[in-house]
Structure 1
Amino acid sequence: MKTNDNFAQKSPEQELDDFINALNLERQPIESTNEDVAELQSLTRRIKNLRPAVNPREQFTLQLQEKLLRGPKPQKRFLPWSALVASILVIIFLISPWSHSNKDLVLAMEQKVKQLENYHGILEKTSSNAAGETQIIQRIEIWSVGNKYATRSEEGIVTVNNGESRWISQPKSKEITLLPIYLDPHDFDLQEEASRAKQYPHKIVGEETIAGHEATRIEIEPPGGLPYYLWIDTETHLPIQLQTAMQKSLQTTFTFVTLETNTQIPNSTFNYDPPEGYRIIDQNPDKPAVTLAGAITISGLTPLQLSEKPQRMFASSNRIVFDFIDTIVIESKATTPFVLSPLATLGQAEGGPLEILPDSLRWQQNGLEIQVQGQRSEELAKQLTNSIAIPAEGQVLPNQSKVKVEIDMEIVKNNQQQVDAGSSPWQLDPAQVAFTFAVLKISPEGIQGEPPFDYNSLKVTSNTGTDATIQILEGPVKVVYLKRLIRQDQSGIWTVVGYDPR
């Protein structure tokens, strides 16, 4: 007799496998009607939740022992119990808390964040001073689904980015402000914090209860900076609290007082539906363009062509944006001389300077200024130009200076911490550091009035992100050599390690 697939009974191993998959995806699993499989499911759930496991019932234990010794009855279409028990032992090893090292905790968090389909929660921001006094600064409700993100403050201010439009709705003034959908940072972004925790040295420092949840507190130490703390929910492995370092006697803490994951979020949460009587303030110059010809008509540009078709296009006067979801390419009319960001590494493109920032490349070509931002920035940039040179990450240049500068590392560490606290941000700019060094060579007691030479006489001749050389066209110093000695990323300060006199 042919069996109807709709009524085909799953094997115990398939039931258990489906149960585990549902748990891993944070979905409601289907409980088995088979008493023995249900017992294994119950044990698996307890281990998964990192809760104290309840001993299986005595009858189940005896039955399990008997089946291990005798094997299953021939007429039953079940997985051999020895294999089933071996499977559950593997499960216990993989998901039990004692199977992970400190490093694995952060890796587990990263994987859990990647599995998020959506989340909804309330994020509380508090501030504490050196005396231990704490006050709530802000509490916002957050909805996130894929690339859609919405927040609502206690004052009713709503901010939404639905992947196509981004706006802020302010009921008090009855205004809606339209913004570009790009470059939309969030406080306590789960993906970003998981990435940082993996990138920087970290260690487990304790277990605490946060918003009613048991959590593991880890200390994260950015090189040369003050440590800060992240709390990871021991049940969900998701970050639920972030605390910054104490800076200028103030410390900020972000806490998800509630957090639901992979839940039901209405699509209407992200719909753009301005209430009647609201004033619309449009600060988003880029409008959707259905075709490339339409984008050219709107912008008045003849853009460089990419070999790959973008998902979406936007355009405004003298500007076209090609959107590849994870990366955008902006082509605009070059109306001003190219100025390198002080935080950028220096490369070469089309015979000119190439600005290199994390997931961002910018250069000028054929009368256009081109900026590529996102995960595939280098890949897409190479579709626009064959003449591109990017220095190797962390490439160290030899210190060929004629005069070496003696370094006091304690002073450098103190300077780094001052910049982390918001003071002297000019030390993040190698040109500013070189300029200050050269000026003090002329005026050791400090600058009185106008500087002795023009800042525009400086030229960045190399910058690998860790090493830089600055050429000065006038004054007693010809070339300044600098390094990031404490932290080799955008937050690291520059220090002069040598120079060439004129």
Structure 2
Amino acid sequence: MNNGQKKWQIQPGQKKVEVLAAFPDSYSFTFELGKEIDDVKNALETKIVGEDKVSGRTAIVMEVTPKGGDSYKIWIDKDTKMPLQKQSAMQYSIQYKVCYTSIDFIESIPKELLAYTIPEGFKEIDTNTEQIVNSLADVKEILGFTPTIPENVPSSFIQNNISIVNDAKVVKINYTSKDNKKKVVILQKKSDSEFKPASMAALGKVNNNVAEIQSPIKNEIGILQGQVPYANITGISSVRWKQDGFEYAVIGNTYLEELELFIKGSTSGIVDISSKEQSLDKPQVEVPVDLKVEEQEQKNVDAGHSPWKLDPVFVSQVFASLKILPEGIQGEYPIKYEELKIIKNTGKEAIIEVSGDKTTIKRVYLKRLIREDNTGIWTVVGYDPLKNQ
């Protein structure tokens, strides 16, 4: 159970109550209602194909065609408009169906279910490693610095508490929306290491510093490491950057635009993490693309094959390596992953710079041609050759 302030699991067999971090909630379900609703809203096409019964309730059967994917069916409760059942597309002779075999709708969760109590005879096991502190002075005494507190935050949020992750040497300023539906956490720690954005992240600017933007979070690096898991949780986004010897991250289950307000309240510089349409530089050499082939590649990735095509750096590594070994790569790639650097990434277009003494390419240009969200594959559309080639 998670009431927004505390998460716990009652284990009757062992007579114990395990206390966990309330945010982010890493529990996930195959048939996540919020995600299914978003997928229908963002689909390329939807159409009603019939009516059926699911768990005794009348449901509308809808065929959904996602961008760059195969059509699937979803059963929507006629009264509440909530998804009740889903049938996937047939992929490699495999098709799955998931549904609620029993469902009841109530106006709100009973308060007694959200109240944290330890049953008689049970032992509390607190696995949450965060330490709540009373003041900024406590933070300075423990970590050796005074954290930056935003001067202004959205009026719909209130500061919940300040906590420390001792092992990671990270301070967290925790905010909760007044309706208790959204959480935003500002992380800060000292850092003398080079800032390296995640390869699958979009890039922006915070006070003229490179900012890593993940929506949702796919890679936990830097300050995101060594804490509760953030990656692959529906609806969790983050912005991470380094400034004046400190690494920061703002994380929340809200829109990037709202996270941007928290960042602006923490810095006097210009903040640009928007996803405005912008066209990057054009390549010197264009690479022809067969959209039908790319559509099939997208379907393969959706089915769990070749996940590396979601990483623009990996795609660039393969492309640059094949320019050296056009007959195929056996063993190690001639271009190392570490020899590639993200120059620009809008989330829809990317430019990767290639270094090393073997490369014949200076830059690789990529686009998400089939699907422009984080599930879309990257396609090489051009490159800049080395001048001496």
Tell me if both proteins adopt one fold, taking TM over 0.5 as the criterion: yes
Q: Give unpaired runs (5+ residues) of structure 2.
A: 153-157, 177-181, 216-236
CA-CA distance at 1:316 after TM superposition = 2.4
Aligned residue number for residue 128 of structure 1: none
**Greater helix fraction, Structure 1 or Structure 2:** 1
Aligned CA distance change for structure 1 residues 302 and 252 (closer, same or farther; 3 Å) = farther
Task: Tell me if 1:229 matches 2:70.
Answer: no
Determine the C-alpha separation between the residues in 2 that align with 1:274 and 1:222.
47
Q: Distance in 2 between matches of 1:238 and 1:268?
A: 23
Kept in 2: contact 1:334–1:368 (CA 8 A) = yes
Shift of 1:194: 2.5
RMSD between superposed Cα atoms in Å:
2.4
Unaligned segments of structure 1, at least 5 residues: 1-159
Q: Distance in 2 between matches of 1:175 and 1:278?
A: 5
Select between 338-347 and 267-276 the one with higher mean Cα deviation: 267-276
**1:395 maps to what in 2?**
278
The corresponding residue for 1:73 is none
Match status 1:186 vs 2:28: yes
How has the CA–CA distance of structure 1 residues 363 and 212 changed in structure 2, closer, same or farther, with 3 Å as cutoff? same
In the other structure, the counterpart of 1:352 is 209
Q: How much does 1:297 deviate?
A: 4.1
Q: Label 1:263 to 1:496 Cα distance change in 2 as closer, same or farther (>3 A).
A: closer
Q: Hey, what's the Cα distance between the residues in 2 that align with 1:225 and 1:449?
A: 32
Equivalents in 1 of 2:108, 2:352: separation in Å?
Answer: 54
Q: CA deviation at 1:278?
A: 4.6
- Name the structure 2 match of 1:310: 159
Following the alignment from structure 2 to structure 1, what is the Cα–Cα distance between the partners of residues 142 and 71? 49
Contact kept in structure 1, 2:3 and 2:114, CA below 8 Å? no
Q: Whole-Å Cα distance in 2 between the matches of residues 196 and 258 of structure 1?
A: 22
Q: How does 1:1-150 map to 2 (within 5 A)?
A: none
Contact 2:308 2:315 in 1 (8 A): yes
Aligned counterpart for 1:367 among listed residues 245, 250, 263: 245
Deviation at 1:487, TM superposition (A): 0.2
Work out whether residues 298 and 316 of structure 1, in 8 Å CA contact, stay in contact via their aligned partners in 2. no
How far apart, in 1, do the equivalents of 2:315 and 2:304 lie? 16
Rate the CA distance shift 1:305–1:277 in 2: closer, same or farther, 3 A.
closer
AA of the residue aligned to 2:160: Q
- Partner secondary structure for residue 447 of structure 1: coil
Matching of residue 499 in structure 1 with residue 377 in structure 2: no
Distance 1:404 1:321 in 2: 46
Provide the rounded CA distance (Å) in 2 between the counterparts of 1:294 and 1:402. 56
3-state SS of paired residue (1:311): strand
Q: Does the C-alpha gap of structure 1 residues 468 and 266 become closer, same or farther in structure 2, counting only changes over 3 Å?
A: same
- Secondary structure in 2 matching 1:258: coil
Give the Cα separation in 2 of the matches to 1:413 and 1:293.
56
TM-score (norm 1): 0.63
Deviation, structure 1 residue 340:
1.7
Asked if structure 2 preserves the Cα contact closer than 8 Å seen for 1:301 and 1:319, the reply is: no
* Structure 1 residues 105-135: Cα deviation after superposition (integer angstroms, max 9, x where no partner): xxxxxxxxxxxxxxxxxxxxxxxxxxxxxxx
1:240 aligns with 2:84: yes
Secondary structure, counterpart of 2:241 in structure 1: strand
Q: Cα distance, 1:291 vs. partner?
A: 3.5
Superposed displacement of residue 270, structure 1: 4.3
Higher RCO (C-alpha 8 Å, min separation 6): 2
> SS of the counterpart of 2:129?
coil
Runs of 4+ with >6 A deviation = none
- TM-aligned CA distance change 1:481 to 1:263, over 3 Å: closer
Equivalent position to 2:173, from 301, 308, 322: 322
